[in-house]
Amino acid sequence: MSVKSNSKTEQRAKQSGKTKISLGQKISDTLKRRILNWEYPPNTLLVEEELSEEFGVSRSPVREALQMLESAGLAERRKNRSFVVKQVRFEEVRDIYEFREAIELYVIERLCVLEQRQAGLKALKVQWLDIQKSHEAGVDPEPAKAALLDQDFHEGLAELLGNKVILNALRSLSERLLFFRTIDFQRDGRIGETCREHLEIIDAIEKGNIEMARRCLLENIDGGLQNVQYGLQVALMRSHS
């Protein structure tokens, strides 16, 4: 049994007419994978000329790719206009997760008292029951795909609230969080935990139980943060060995 692709991120890209991926995007995706796999440790110099030669392209798409990495918080520009892989500071990661918690706690508290929440919750529930069945059958999505599915779940809850300002604020965090979400899902057993936690969150909202919903959401987000912290520590030790 396989998990079907149902990423709202992918759907939004198709709806906006982005059927062709630019060279810059393809290069950016490759460099992102290398950063996620710690092939490029923090402070690794990303040289336009070398990357242009490697990918067999001009400097223009490479420059575009590096700017994408900068926007995603994965690279930073130096004064001489060169780029390096950004040094990950756990304090910054924690701050992002705390901001995310503040937004999402408000979302689920409001959903618990909204009568029109049931239809949207049913769709999310069906999706995560399917993912759970696949997990129990021994088939899990790759970490990068699991990260997108997790992103879509949390954005989906905010979408049900109907507050565009809150939804846009959460989406603005998504690109920065995707790097850390992928690290989270690199831990064995995480997809099974996430299925249970997501379904418990939905169950609590369906019952209108605010305290239970808060507790389940915090377990889900805080557990992810702990996985990220451990993953970063292991990766850093590996990169210096």
Q: What is the pLDDT of residues 29-54, one digit of tens each?
A: 899 888 877 788 888 999 999 999 99
With contact defined as beta carbons under 8 Å apart, do 169 and 82 qualify? no
Whether 15 has a pLDDT exceeding 50, the answer reads no
Q: Which two tokens stand for residue 43?
A: 């402070």
Average pLDDT over residues 74-102: 88
pTM reported for the whole predicted model: 0.75
Whether 6 has a pLDDT exceeding 80, the answer reads no
Beta-sheet strands, E only, within the chain: 45-46, 75-77, 83-85
Q: What is the DSSP letter of 21?
A: -
User: Crossing angle for the helix pair 143-161 and 90-111, nearest 10 degrees?
Assistant: 40
Q: Hey, what domains does the chain have and what are their CATH numbers?
A: 16-85 (1.10.10.10), 90-240 (1.20.120.530)
Closest to 129 (Cα-Cα) out of 36, 49, 195: 195
